[in-house]
Amino acid sequence: MAGWVEGDPVGDRVFLDLPAFAPERGGELPSVRIAYETWGTLAADGGNAVLVEHALTGDSHVVGAAGPGHPTAGWWDGLVGPGAALDTDRFFVVCANVLGGCQGTTGPSSPDPDGVRWGSRFPEVTVGDQVRVEAALADALGIDRWACVAGGSMGGMRALEWAVAMPERVGALFFLASGAVATADQIGTQTTQQAAVRADPRWAGGDYDPADAPVDGLGIARRIAHLTYRSAFELSERFGPHVQEDGRFAVASYLEHHADKLGRRFDAGSYVVLTETMNSWDVGRGRGGVAAALSRVTARSVVAGVDSDRLYPVELQQQVADGLGVPLRVVPSPYGHDGFLIETAAVGELVRELLP
């Protein structure tokens, strides 16, 4: 099946088992397992720890080769390591697979106490829930305060939630290619992706056979999503209206390739749960609005966006920058939203500026 399951090679993962957890919107998980990876050495006072937050289909494998247990190479390779922007000779870097995910942390494909996959019974989780689980991990690791919390896209949501919910535990915030609240455009795109997954006859209400998963619906969802991740300029320059020898448009073949890749490594249930989490995101909910929530942040902050991003356009980062009283930094890139993953040299320079 797609995603990591018990019995698969562990790879570089480490696991922590947490006690019962009650999501804020109801339901209960009798226990939570969190999968994480680390790089560098934690200082005696715990003060050199950096939390890196992954995006929707990312995982704890920020850097490192593909291999047993890791279907893909590190998703932010070049940003973490000796001498890198997040210098592991200086920092202890942590990345955890998110609650609701499918790469070792408890999610819909995980077994319940009776050994049955959670499936449709998996509770709704919020960004706040995910951060509370990460806080429990930090406690277990002996980290009272992060030197920095950094993330882009869905990872940016968790980074901002950390800085707002627990300002005393965040020394610096790196917020990239994300927003303070889900927009109608993002919700509309993501609910359409969810509809594609649920329309697959194998979805079975979320209780599908993992050996016969709804990969067709997930593949359509990925195609829709990938169009929002890249820029129209890039697609035009790379593919134009070119038709391949097999009669397919080149851009359609490209999207099919990415759909197939995701279907081999990601769980459809996690895709639905996590996009629902993103749809519910609003850092100002219960805090008097976005401006009031941002006023709680005490961390040194860098807020950055990608100039060609059409999923999280720079005006969304401008709102956060204005609320934090810092200048917006814009990364030039032809790649759209995915520029936050691709333009590692430019992103790394901003991280170095934040953590001199």
Percent of the chain with pLDDT over 90: 98
Q: Given this model, what pLDDT does residue 1 score? A: 60
* Active centre residues (catalytic): 153, 309, 337
Overall average pLDDT of the 156-182 stretch: 98
What is the band of 221 on the pLDDT scale with cuts at 50, 70, 90?
Answer: very high
Chain length of the chain: 356
Helix (H) / strand (E) containing 32? strand 32-39
Overall average pLDDT of the 256-282 stretch: 97
What is the band of 2 on the pLDDT scale with cuts at 50, 70, 90?
Answer: confident
State the chain's mean pLDDT as an integer. Answer: 97
Q: Which domains does the chain have, with CATH numbers?
A: 14-183+282-354 (3.40.50.1820), 186-278 (1.10.1740.110)
Tell me how far CA of residue 166 lies from CA of 102, 146, 147, 152, 331, in angstroms: 26, 10, 13, 19, 28
Is this prediction's pTM over 0.85? Answer: yes
Overall average pLDDT of the 115-131 stretch: 97
